[in-house]
Amino acid sequence: MFLLNLQSKEPIFEQIQTQILSFIEAGVLKPNDKLPSVRQLATENGINPNTVAKAYAQLEQKGYVYNLPKKGVYVAEISMENSKMLQIEALLKPLKENGITKEDLITAINRLYGEDNNA
């Protein structure tokens, strides 16, 4: 299910997060679907369980998954606001990776929406 590039410059925990969010966005993972256990995902991909746990913890902080102790990690009901944020993050991530700064983005957004920072 997960295709991780261990030679990539992108940290593995971020690759896991990106793929889970992509699966949610595409409808492959639906609300209340159970994710692979930390141990299972780590073993299948030959990575440290702490890496998987970090990915899951950050997704939980953002509200994309929830953890039921001793039962596992599940996909959360994603609100319309979270869905919008998911789409925006998917658009912005490649820009950030290509060296576009926050200031560049703000300038472009202000220009797009007809706002002038110098006013």
For 62-91, write each residue's pLDDT tens digit.
889 999 999 999 999 977 677 787 778 878
Look at residues 1, 79, 67, 82 and name the one whose alpha carbon lies nearest to residue 34.
67
Name every residue whose Cβ is closer than 8 Å to that of residue 119 and which is 6 or more positions away in sequence: none
Q: For the ranges 1-5, 88-92, 103-107, 113-117, which has the lowest average pLDDT?
A: 113-117
CA atoms of 22 and 12, how far apart (whole Å): 15
**pLDDT > 70? residue 8:** yes
CA atoms of 86 and 94, how far apart (whole Å): 13
Domain ranges within the chain, ordered by starting residue: 8-77, 79-119
CA atoms of 66 and 57, how far apart (whole Å): 9
Amino acid occupying residue 115: E
CATH number among 1.10.238.10, 1.20.1560.10, 1.10.10.10, 1.10.1060.10, domain 8-77: 1.10.10.10
Q: How confident is the model at residue 29 (pLDDT cuts 50, 70, 90)?
A: very high
Name every residue whose Cβ is closer than 8 Å to that of residue 92 and which is 6 or more positions away in sequence: 105
**pLDDT > 60? residue 117:** no
